[in-house]
């Protein structure tokens, strides 16, 4: 076993141990003042659910085009968290979200998470028709064109695009803007983030999409994960500054 393997194993157990510790503290109420900083997009998400119910039109949700078995998988899972939250809350108003996916590996999970969160009396055919596979991940603009068509034609109240999305996000944003629709956009692609910032004020930047489950479900594990993520971020910052200072002193 070499040093890189040891580092990976040590990192895995350290992070998991820290997660479990913080989760226990949250459950025991020792961190009663633990709070999440406000993210405009997640606050807007709750408002958009209300808007959808009032308008009588469902929201459009797209978790992107990242295949689950690739490096884009985690971003897609973050998008699926948003979908599950919307499906769960929309059930009360019986407004099932319209869903478009850009990867076939997302189709089954989107249908399943949507199905189990809708009212038990919903027929299976209903949820299957609401979830639509548009195009494979190799054809991002075809996927975006299909999603844009759903926005323009599909009588949806608002557009929520969170997941692995690239520059094709601009097409989706343009279609929603033409309908004067409220939007939420988030991606792990820096180019898509820039497009999201220009298109809407409800944008999620990179790591903010990975905390969707904490903001929407607020379980102890998810809140612990947010805290651990913050700690790791500070550790990285300290390491970078320390390395820069050491290099500076070494040069001088």
Partner 1 sequence: MIILKRGIPVTLAVLTGLVALIGLLFAPPLAELLLNWAGYVAAAALLMGVLNLLGIHAKRSVKGNFYSIILVLSMLAIFGLAITDAIGQTQEGVETLFSLIQVPLEAALASLLAFFLLFASVRMIRNRRNAGTILFLLATLFFLLTQAPWSETLWSWLLPVRAWAESVVVVAGMRGLLLGIALGVTTLAIRLLVGIERPYSS
Task: Tell me the per-residue interface mask from 98 to 137 with partner 1, x by CB under 8 A, - otherwise.
Answer: ---x-xxx-xxx--xx--x-----------xx-xxxx-x-
Residue found by looking up tokens 């601009």 in the block: 170
Token pair of 135 as six digits: 């195009």
Exactly one of 57, 126, 174, 179 binds partner 1 (CB under 8 A); that residue is 174
Interface with partner 1, residue 15, by CB under 8 A = yes
Q: How open is the CA angle 108-109-115, to the nearest 5 degrees? A: 90
The DSSP call for residue 87 is H
Least distance in angstroms from the C-beta of 246 to partner 1:
19
Q: How open is the CA angle 187-44-216, to the nearest 5 degrees? A: 75
Q: How open is the CA angle 244-247-249, to the nearest 5 degrees? A: 110
Question: Do 61 and 160 touch, CB atoms closer than 8 A?
Answer: yes
Least distance in angstroms from the C-beta of 128 to partner 1:
8
Residue with Cβ nearer partner 1 (39 or 171): 171
Which range, of 38-46, 51-59, 85-93, 195-203, touches partner 1 by CB under 8 A?
Answer: 195-203
Output the CA–CA distances (angstroms, integers) from residue 166 to 28, 38, 58, 68, in the order listed. Answer: 41, 25, 25, 16
Question: Rounded to an integer, what distance in angstroms lies between the CA atom of residue 59 and that of residue 136?
Answer: 23
Number of chain residues interacting with partner 1 (CB under 8 A): 70
Exactly one of 60, 160, 213, 216 binds partner 1 (CB under 8 A); that residue is 213
Exactly one of 48, 62, 84, 98 binds partner 1 (CB under 8 A); that residue is 84
Question: Do 37 and 211 touch, CB atoms closer than 8 A?
Answer: no
Interface with partner 1, residue 39, by CB under 8 A = no
Q: Please choose, from the candidates 22, 12, 70, the residue with its C-alpha nearest in 3D space to the C-alpha of residue 220.
A: 22
Interface with partner 1, residue 82, by CB under 8 A = no
| Residues making contact with partner 1 (CB under 8 A) | 1, 5, 8-9, 12, 15-16, 19, 67-69, 74-75, 77-78, 80-81, 84, 101, 103-105, 107-109, 112-113, 116, 128-129, 131-134, 136, 139, 141-142, 144-145, 149, 167-168, 170-171, 173-174, 177, 188, 190, 193, 195, 197-199, 201, 205-207, 209-211, 213, 221, 225, 228-229, 232-233, 236
């Amino acid at each position: 076993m070499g040093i890189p393997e040891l580092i990976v194993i040590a990192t895995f157990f350290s992070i998991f141990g820290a997660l479990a510790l913080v989760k226990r503290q949250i459950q025991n109420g020792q961190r009663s003042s633990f709070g999440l900083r406000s993210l405009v997009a997640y606050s807007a998400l709750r408002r958009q659910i209300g808007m959808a119910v009032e308008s009588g039109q469902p929201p459009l949700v797209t978790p992107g085009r990242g295949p689950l078995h690739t490096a884009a998988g985690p971003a897609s899972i973050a998008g699926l968290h948003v979908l599950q939250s919307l499906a769960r809350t929309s059930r009360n108003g019986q407004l099932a979200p319209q869903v478009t996916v850009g990867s076939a590996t997302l189709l089954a999970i989107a249908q399943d998470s949507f199905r189990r969160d809708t009212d038990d009396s919903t027929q299976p055919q209903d949820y299957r028709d609401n979830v639509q596979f548009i195009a494979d991940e190799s054809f991002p603009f075809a996927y975006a064109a299909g999603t844009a068509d759903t926005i323009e034609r599909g009588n949806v109240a608002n557009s929520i695009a969170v997941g692995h999305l690239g520059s094709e996000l601009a097409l989706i944003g343009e279609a929603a803007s033409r309908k004067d629709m409220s939007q939420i956009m988030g991606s792990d692609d820096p180019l898509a983030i820039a497009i999201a910032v220009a298109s809407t004020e409800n944008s999620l930047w990179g790591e903010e999409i990975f905390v969707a489950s904490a903001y929407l479900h607020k379980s102890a594990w998810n809140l612990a994960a947010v805290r651990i993520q913050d700690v790791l971020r500070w550790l990285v910052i300290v390491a970078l500054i320390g390395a820069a200072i050491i290099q500076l002193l070494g040069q001088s």
